[in-house]
Amino acid sequence: MGTITRSFANNITTSGVLLPASLTNNSIANVTAYNAAIATGNMVLISSQTASNSASISFTTGIDSTYKEYQFYFIDIHPRTDQVNFTFNMSTDGGSNYNVTKTTTAFFSQHDEADTNTNLFYETGSDLAQSTAFQTLSYEIGNLADEAGAGSLNLFNPASTTYVKHFIATTNTNNAANYCVNIFTAGYGNTTSAVNAIQFKMASGNMDGTILMYGIV
């Protein structure tokens, strides 16, 4: 057995797995290509919508079997009504109805500007149990000129006709009472029908802000 063969053999286990010592800066630097079939995790911008004193933002196209995960980003969500919640719901009929049955859970962390109050707690008022209501994502955002919310929502495999539709959301808001409020929400749409539309709106009144929708490769 030649020197090169012996050297290579010394760097693999009996089951054919490369040992850590076999990977060096030099060996990695010599890689000139990779398998194109390997998923790279790219984010593909599908749609962007901006509300200006609008009742809601709805995405009624682009949610299909193309991607297994969709991400929505909320930028400067500003209510025209003071102290209202930012919410969302899903649709299985292209946006004719936003009434998917959901079971969800939510908890908050918050800190006021005066540094006098901090809390971490489960928020029973923001969870749902087999409800078709809109799900709260941000809590009591203020409507002063500098008050707004931001965050993201991940929706997993909405085109599945086998499984329920899981989602995870995180938002941060400038609360009407001058609190920084970080909200963590998760749950599932309890339907095996494909979800093909999603709507975001304030619990009351109109809103400003931008929402981006990405597909995850």
pLDDT tens per residue across all 217 residues of the chain: 555 555 656 766 766 666 666 666 665 566 666 555 555 569 999 999 999 999 999 999 999 999 999 999 999 999 999 999 999 999 999 999 999 999 999 999 999 999 999 999 998 989 999 999 999 999 999 999 999 999 999 999 999 999 999 999 999 999 999 999 999 999 999 999 999 999 999 999 999 999 999 999 8
Identify the DSSP state of 20. Answer: G
Which of 85, 174, 188 is CA-nearest to residue 129? 188
The per-residue pLDDT for 27 is 59
3-state secondary structure 87-142: EEEEECCCCCCCCCCEEEEEEEEEEECCCCCEEEEECHHHCCCCECCCEEEEEEEC
- Domain range annotation of the chain: 1-32, 43-216
**CA distances to 45, 105, 123, 211 from 118, in Å:** 37, 21, 15, 29
* β pairing state of 207-216 and 43-54: antiparallel
Identify the DSSP state of 28. Answer: H
Q: Is 56 exposed, middle or buried (0-12, 13-18, 19+ CB in 10 A)?
A: middle
What CA–CA distance (Å, rounded) separates 212 from 195?
A: 18
What residues contact residue 217 under an 8 Å CB cut-off, 6+ apart? 39, 40, 41, 42, 43, 44, 67
What CA–CA distance (Å, rounded) separates 158 from 197?
A: 9
The per-residue pLDDT for 40 is 59
Which of 173, 151, 137 is CA-nearest to residue 73? 151
Q: 3-state DSSP call for residue 26?
A: helix
Which of 197, 121, 137, 195 is CA-nearest to residue 169? 137
The per-residue pLDDT for 31 is 60
Residue written as tokens 């209202």? 84
Q: What are the CB-based long-range contacts (under 8 Å, 24+) for 166-173?
A: 169/137, 171/74, 171/86, 171/137, 171/138, 173/86, 173/138, 173/139, 173/140, 173/141, 173/148, 173/149
* Top CATH class, 43-216: mainly beta
| Token pair recorded at residue 207 | 């809103």
